Amino acid sequence: MGVPTIGCRCHVCVSPDPHDKRTRPSILLRYEDRAVVVDTTPDFRFQALRANLDRLDAVLYTHSHADHILGLDDIRPFSLPNGKIIPVYGNRPAIEGLRRVFKYVFDGNYPYGGVPLIQDHIINGPVELFGLNFLPVQVLHGRLEVLGFRFGRVAYLTDFNKIPEPSYPLLHGLDVLFLDALRHEAHPTHMTVAEALQEVEKIQPRQAFFTHIAHDLGHEVTNASLPEQVRLCYDVMRLEIETD
Ligand SMILES: [Zn+2]
Ligand SMILES: [Zn+2]
Ligand SMILES: [Zn+2]
């Protein structure tokens, strides 16, 4: 829901710490003069302006829940002026969800002006984008199959509460693991902090960053309780990473 959460006056929602202001989860990868995002959240426009984003070359979708797709219409400035078609990738349920929610984008007969120019691709295996290989990593978000992505020695896994056994070998030798840690209280489709820490223990990345964090977790107080190689993500966090 984002932090502050609308209407909430809890201590995290009223916190003056800028780390406690969280838009919906997404990452931007910049390499070889390209820009690829994972998910287009309802905050995409604000996030793109904040990041001075001046181009967009592809979108990878983890799944089609509202908090991960609703910014799709706002990619128009990257495609309309020059007719550039932006490729979008996801598993079958994700692409079907996009086609349902954004029917007017895919219909091809929208009479009211511009729609984002996109080409959808269902992926079942690795996809190479501009020289960087993205390996889909299947995780379970309740009953829904969600894709995480591994690129180089980094993996981004948001929105899950179970990693199926066949996905673990894809997570060997990570420098950085991003993973879901919603809150302390149990949730039917997301990881708790304790559960996420167990996965970190099992996967053994050099560093882990928790994401998809609800307003239950204050940034500073939660970080102070975590092992030193584990930290909460925060908005505009930047990392330089090696991908080979
Ligand atoms: Zn709150
Ligand atoms: Zn979700
Ligand atoms: Zn989500």
Give, for all 244 residues of the chain, the pLDDT tens digit.
Answer: 999 999 999 999 999 999 999 999 999 999 999 999 999 999 999 999 999 999 999 999 999 999 999 999 999 999 988 899 999 999 999 999 999 999 999 998 888 878 999 999 999 999 999 999 999 999 999 999 999 999 999 999 999 999 999 999 999 999 999 999 999 999 999 999 999 999 999 999 999 999 999 999 999 999 999 999 999 999 999 999 987 7
Nearest to 87 by CA among 51, 45, 116: 116
Q: For residue 230, how far is the Cα from the chain centroid? A: 18
Going from the Cα of 75 to the center of ligand 1, the distance in angstroms, rounded, reads 30
What was the pLDDT predicted at 5? Answer: 97
Type of residue at 220: E
Type of residue at 163: I
What was the pLDDT predicted at 144? Answer: 98
How many whole angstroms separate alpha carbon 82 and alpha carbon 219? 41
Say if residues 202 and 165 touch (Cβ distance below 8 Å): no
Going from the Cα of 2 to the center of ligand 1, the distance in angstroms, rounded, reads 9
What was the pLDDT predicted at 73? Answer: 97
Q: Which two tokens stand for residue 132?
A: 């960087």
- Proximal ligand: closest to the CA of 215: 1
How many whole angstroms separate alpha carbon 211 and alpha carbon 60? 17
Surrounding ion ligand 3 within 5 Å at CB are 67, 159
- Proximal ligand: closest to the CA of 146: 2
What was the pLDDT predicted at 224? Answer: 98
**Phi, psi values for residue 37, rounded to 5°:** -115, 150
Q: What is the 3-state secondary structure (H, E, C) of 49-65?
A: HHCCCCCCCEEECCCCC
Going from the Cα of 26 to the center of ligand 1, the distance in angstroms, rounded, reads 21
